[in-house]
Structure 1
Amino acid sequence: MHYTHTHLSLNNKSVALSSIQQGSVTSESDFEKASLDFIHRWLNNQQTFILQTSGSTGTPKKIEVTREQLIASASATIKALELKEHDQVLICLSTQYIAGIMMLVRCLVGNLNITAIEPTANPLNLLPPDAEFDFAALVPYQAETMFTEMDLSSFKRIKKIIIGGAPVSLKLTEILSKAESDIYQTYGMTETLSHIALQKISGVDATHAFKALPGVTLKLDARNCLVIQADYLPEAVVANDVVEMIGNNTFRWLGRADNVINSGGIKLYPEKLEKIVEHTFSSLSINNRFFVCGTQDAKLGTAVSLIIESANKVDEIALLQQLRNHLQSHELPKVILYTKTFEMTPTNKINRVATLRKYGMITNLQ
């Protein structure tokens, strides 16, 4: 494959791919080092790569994948999003992990022009105000910051955007639904070589479910968790995500099986409860981060618990009063706990297990 037409800008410096292939480009940051190292290995036709999981859903681990698998995954995204040769692509995610790595692969496979900048809360702040792109990948926090610091019009600078790494909140989904760009929420993991399904969340053609990419087949196991088969995966990947299949290769995500709270014999999905809590927080102008889990309870076995990142208590009476309007009694938090700071993964996701262990909380996630 020839890359003579691919242009690379790294932290606003033009870099020749031929120089990267020869190994003659010096890095000035961890992001530059990871980006240059991967591109160097790719240009020199390396056939196998070691990928590192982030650890947000378990112990971090390394997996080995082949060049052909990465090409097949990249090609599926290029086809689904109708990306074209010479499109301008913004890479503002860590290239040590699958999301950033696959952005590099898509560019190299599709001969797309690369603008790679340090991952920050608002990537557009590091770029000229007239810089525009055909495609970019963001995490929810970046999209939220772009809206807060700039406004919705800033998204017009990027024609197509995929958002992944964590679920997109109800509030952010509502904001982005009015964007002029084509914006998609992604579903996938390191083991599936990035996303295997997309959900459009902007425009009049927005959907309420994920649709699998070409070449991906989905089914459920006995737990109603997703089983993923793809042309480029050597074997089926069994996810820990409970979903509702609503059509051929189309599904709604309900939550993580390992997060499920069994309270008094009733199974509850924290992610579903978190959407209600998020809406209530917004109505009460509570801006703290939070998550829902189960803590040990003598009567129920496990009680629904709300963990809030705050040094001070919120107005719990007002909070519970409003939650009662939207939740059944068995869904209401029986315990509200506070931590000064949440533990985070290297890819900036809340690490629930590490947070709970740090503060000595005994929960269903131990």
Structure 2
Amino acid sequence: MGEALVAVRLAFDAAFSTTLDAVWEAGDAVLPIHPDLPGPEVEALLGALRPGFLVDASGVRQLRGAAPVEPGTALVVPTSGTTGTPKGVVLTHDNLSASALATAARLELGKGDRWLCCVPPSHIAGMMVLVRARLTGSPVVLHPRFDPAAIAAEESTNIVSFVPTMLRRLLQAGVDVARFRWILLGGGPVPAHLVAAATVAGARVVVTYGMTETCGGAVYDGVPLPGVRVATAEDGTVALAGPMLMRGYRLRPEETAAALRGGWFLTSDVGELDPSGRLRVLGRRDDLIISGGQKVLPVEVANLLMEHPAVADAAVAGRPDDEWGQAVAAVVVPAPGAAPTLAELRAFVAERLAAYKAPRYLVIVAELPRGPTGKPVGLEALVAGASAVSS
């Protein structure tokens, strides 16, 4: 094919891994697409990123309107912008190698390790498991779907990458997490109590911070990987630099120029650096709630709510409010047999955080709506449209 972009929409099994290797050996780049993505979304993705070929269960077909890729491109990983319009993060082979080798150096990985991949490779966390295994010569076991029972039965693997929801469900199911030499935990805010619970269970957890634009995790437990530089702007915006930084956004030069400034990637996150240079991420700037002129980071409130004994899971979002502009709204999954009330949750938060951060609205749900990577989705619509919300 020769420096073409090849969309791969296959089940995440050995055939996917074989196809990935074949495309790269041919000198082409891969656009991974989740096999369960609905047809209209697949078409939108193909239209926005303009690959030359599509490999799916029916075979290989050439696509019209293809745009070339630059030499050295390995991946175009789809991600959604704030508008929901698909865009592709362009990552080179050099980017992937720098990231994988930095992780291998930090965690002392080698051929004796055996990876478990249960995060979809259409997401950067899952793809980087395959890349790390490939570059270090380590075997990898692919699970098409996250299944606690299957993970419990897969005793031969000793390194894994999870999103917080996965680890939480494994602990709830009583799966032995102590058998893993390392658990990389990222893909979203990581509650401190979840890490504590896993540690008590014998797990060795590394909290990772990064995004698709940095080949996934670039900061481990607050400490940058070898070659990574971290800075914060005056407004707290986290900036990252290093050899694993993306080439840019496919076919979007203006957005690339806005995101990359002098070799630095300006993230959408707010954080702070301690005197030793350790990074603490406070939350996403775009998720910030402004209530009565006060700034509230949803993740801070959600993490605290999950420490309440009556709460099994929680997320927080801003809700339009005539008096406050925005009000803090909590979406809560009750613990078994519990019935948390707004009054007790407000009091619980106000005892530990500023009073204006306490939720003014409460929505009780059986399960939080989450995307493929475990991040809560659709919260604003949920809290705005729920007639049962209490104030």
Q: TM range, normalised to the smaller chain?
A: 0.7 to 0.9
| Structure 1 residues without counterparts, runs of 5 or longer | 1-26, 200-209
For 1:144, which of 160, 168, 193 is the aligned residue?
168
CA distance, structure 2, for counterparts of residue 34 and residue 57 of structure 1 = 29
Aligned-partner residue type, residue 254 of structure 1: L
| 2:67 counterpart of 1:42 | no
**CA deviation profile, 1:39-64 (whole Å, cap 9, x unmatched):** 32234454423333454976342122
1:56/1:350 contact within 8 Å kept: no
1:51/1:63 contact within 8 Å kept: yes
Judging changes above 3 Å, is the alpha-carbon distance between structure 1 residues 197 and 290 closer, same or farther for their aligned structure 2 residues? same
CA distance, structure 1, for counterparts of residue 323 and residue 20 of structure 2 = 53
CA distance, structure 1, for counterparts of residue 237 and residue 135 of structure 2 = 32
Q: Name the SS for the 1:296 alignment partner.
A: strand
Aligned-partner residue type, residue 31 of structure 1: F
CA distance, structure 2, for counterparts of residue 277 and residue 193 of structure 1 = 31
Partner of 1:4: none
Partner of 2:270: 242
CA distance, structure 2, for counterparts of residue 315 and residue 147 of structure 1 = 26
Aligned-partner residue type, residue 301 of structure 2: L
Matching of residues 179-198 of structure 1 within 5 Å:
179-198=201-220
Tell me how far 1:273 sits from its aligned partner.
1.4
Tell me how far 1:122 sits from its aligned partner.
1.5
| Structure 2 residues without counterparts, runs of 5 or longer | 1-7, 29-71, 248-262, 387-391
For 1:134, which of 158, 166, 172 is the aligned residue?
158
Tell me how far 1:82 sits from its aligned partner.
0.7
Tell me how far 1:314 sits from its aligned partner.
4.0
Aligned-partner residue type, residue 50 of structure 1: L
Partner of 1:219: 231
Judging changes above 3 Å, is the alpha-carbon distance between structure 1 residues 348 and 37 closer, same or farther for their aligned structure 2 residues? farther
Aligned-partner residue type, residue 311 of structure 2: I
Q: Name the SS for the 2:181 alignment partner.
A: strand
Report the RMSD for the aligned CA atoms in angstroms.
2.9
CA distance, structure 2, for counterparts of residue 173 and residue 126 of structure 1 = 19
CA distance, structure 1, for counterparts of residue 282 and residue 326 of structure 2 = 20
Judging changes above 3 Å, is the alpha-carbon distance between structure 1 residues 104 and 261 closer, same or farther for their aligned structure 2 residues? same
| 2:92 counterpart of 1:110 | no
For 1:316, which of 324, 342, 345 is the aligned residue?
342
CA distance, structure 2, for counterparts of residue 301 and residue 260 of structure 1 = 13
Aligned-partner residue type, residue 279 of structure 1: E
1:339/1:359 contact within 8 Å kept: no
1:185/1:198 contact within 8 Å kept: yes
Partner of 2:260: none
| 2:257 counterpart of 1:275 | no
CA distance, structure 1, for counterparts of residue 156 and residue 177 of structure 2 = 10
Tell me how far 1:249 sits from its aligned partner.
3.8
Partner of 1:18: none
| 2:178 counterpart of 1:156 | yes
1:48/1:67 contact within 8 Å kept: yes
Partner of 1:52: 77
TM-score by length of 2: 0.72
Equivalent residue pairs, number: 315
Judging changes above 3 Å, is the alpha-carbon distance between structure 1 residues 157 and 338 closer, same or farther for their aligned structure 2 residues? closer
Judging changes above 3 Å, is the alpha-carbon distance between structure 1 residues 228 and 248 closer, same or farther for their aligned structure 2 residues? farther
Judging changes above 3 Å, is the alpha-carbon distance between structure 1 residues 43 and 180 closer, same or farther for their aligned structure 2 residues? farther
For 2:286, which of 245, 248, 258 is the aligned residue?
258
Tell me how far 1:211 sits from its aligned partner.
0.5
Q: Which 10-residue stretch deviates more, 92-101 or 241-250?
A: 241-250
